[in-house]
Amino acid sequence: MGKRLLGAVALILSVFAPAALAENGTTTTGLQDFLPLIILIVVFGGIFYFMLIRPQRRRQQQMTALIDSLKRGDSVITAGGIHGEIDTIGDTSVVLTLEDGSKLRMAKTSIVRKVEK
């Protein structure tokens, strides 16, 4: 564990440590010193976007499409595992008719899946 940590620190230092002298013997300044840092930030930003933000946005669009496509008579399953058929639809809620004939009002956002008949 200690050798791995030391290796990781050495790798980070070798990437971020600016060269004290350039090839001609003068000190380096400006963008050349920060280029590895900028590249690393851009790479991590890209990874963050493609691993976290984009999939979450896709799931949100799928949920919005599901909620918008609900209509009376659809069989659905809620987040709590309740199976029912949509009786009425409001702006933010739906009334489900359960198997025993009882009715239950739930938030539209609690519906997670339509069941094909």
Cβ 75 vs Cβ 65: under 8 Å = no
Residue among 56, 58, 55, 65 nearest 113 (CA): 65
What's the whole-number average pLDDT of the chain?
Answer: 83
CA distance 71 to 64: 14
CA distance 102 to 1: 60
Which pLDDT tens digit goes with each residue over 76-116?
Answer: 999 999 999 999 999 999 999 999 999 999 999 999 999 98
Going along the chain from its start, the domains and CATH numbers come out as 1-69 (no CATH), 72-117 (2.30.30)
Mean pLDDT of 23-35: 67
CA distance 20 to 2: 28
pTM: 0.61
Cβ 51 vs Cβ 44: under 8 Å = no
Which of left, alpha, beta for 80 (phi over 0: left; psi -120 to 50: alpha)? Answer: alpha
User: Which tokens sit at 110?
Assistant: 């609690």
Helix residue ranges, H only, the chain: 2-16, 31-48, 54-68
- What is the CA angle 16-21-26, rounded to 5? 135
Residue 6: is its pLDDT beyond 80?
A: no
What is the structure's pLDDT at 28? 60
Residue 13: is its pLDDT beyond 80?
A: no
Residue 1: is its pLDDT beyond 70?
A: no
